[in-house]
Structure 1
Amino acid sequence: MEVMSDFKITKEISYEDLKALLGKSQNLFLVDVRNKDEVDKGRIPGSIHIPVNTVGDAFSLEPEEFKDKYGVTKPPLDAPELVFHCQMGRRGQMATNKAHELGYMNARNYTGGYKEWSEKEGK
């Protein structure tokens, strides 16, 4: 598969920016791509759990199927605030890259992950 050389710019979001979005944005679509065991130990409020190995399939679903499976409306391709996160950033980056491949050009990775979130939130 051919990849454009300037395409590998993964968009990222900081803890501060994510915290601000959580406080004010109705459009934030936050996806937790960790495994179920990790999510059961704690999660960022408002996040949707879609494991990293299922992100491609999930975001390829028809909107009705997506809503049936995850209980939320599938974000449009031009969703302004689509954010993926994992525990420490690597799986979040993989998920963000997958979303970009599917046409979600504004998808971003919260690189600090749940590890940073829980430290800053004092969990």
Structure 2
Amino acid sequence: MIQRTIAGTFKARIFYHTFQITPSRKIYSQTLFPSQQTKNLTQRMILPRLYTTPAGNFDKMIVNFEQVKKATTKNDILIVDVREPDEIKEHGKIPNSINIPLGSVSSVLGTMSEKEFEQTYKRPKPTEDSEIIFYCMIGKRSGMAQQNALNLGYKNVKNYLGSWTDWASKGQ
């Protein structure tokens, strides 16, 4: 795990939290060192935040326009659009991509059978080592989908940060 810091502003009471995440992903929180209530005091605190992705792998988990363009010609790479179907109708989609709305990503990748996946999407269901690229409109929802896939055990999932906005701006 990597420790990162997040700065937060808290008013009136100053306190510190410790968080422990177990291998079963349960989170235990404990409040430590409560201080006396202080009027109109704004205190800046730095809290550690843990991520499960090693820093060295972060660049490998993001793709750019050129990488996605190459991936559109490869059938062994699954490109997943996590926008809603109405958004795709309005704006368009990246060639050779399939649509799995963000709210369905976990159930489709987690519990849908291989046969049902292939019937629905006309592509084989990805294995845990298959390369999957997620995209949306600007890259936020695709990042959430990427995290969902990682939580399901998929190891080679990537996020197209520029997403549809970047793709469309390049005239594709």
In the superposition, the TM-score normalised over structure 2's length comes to 0.64
CA distance in structure 1 between the partners assigned to 2:123 and 2:71 by the alignment: 18
The reply on whether 1:48 has 2:98 as its aligned counterpart is yes
Change (3 A) 1:64 1:7: same
* Match of residue 73, structure 1, among 120, 124, 127: 124
1:52 Cα shift? 0.4
Question: Counterpart in 2 of 1:62?
Answer: 113
In our comparison, the structure showing a higher alpha carbon Rg is 2
Residue 37 of structure 1 deviates from its aligned partner by: 1.0
Q: Which residue matches 1:17?
A: 67
Instruction: After superposing the two structures, state which structure 1 stretch, 58-67 or 105-114, moved more.
Output: 58-67
- 1:27: how far off? 1.1
Structure showing greater relative contact order (alpha-carbon pairs closer than 8 Å, 6 or more residues apart): 1
Q: Distance in 1 between matches of 2:119 and 2:71?
A: 26
Alignment match, 2:22? none
5+ residue gaps, structure 2: 1-24, 28-49
Aligned-residue Cα RMSD (Å) equals: 2.0
The structure with the largest helix share of the pair is 1
Shift of 1:62: 1.6
**What SS does the corresponding residue of 1:121 show, helix, strand or coil?**
coil
Aligned pair 1:88/2:133, yes or no?
no
Q: Is the 8 A contact 2:83 2:101 kept in 1?
A: yes
Q: Size of the alignment, in residue pairs?
A: 120
- Structure 1: where are the runs of 5+ without partners? none
More strand per residue: 2
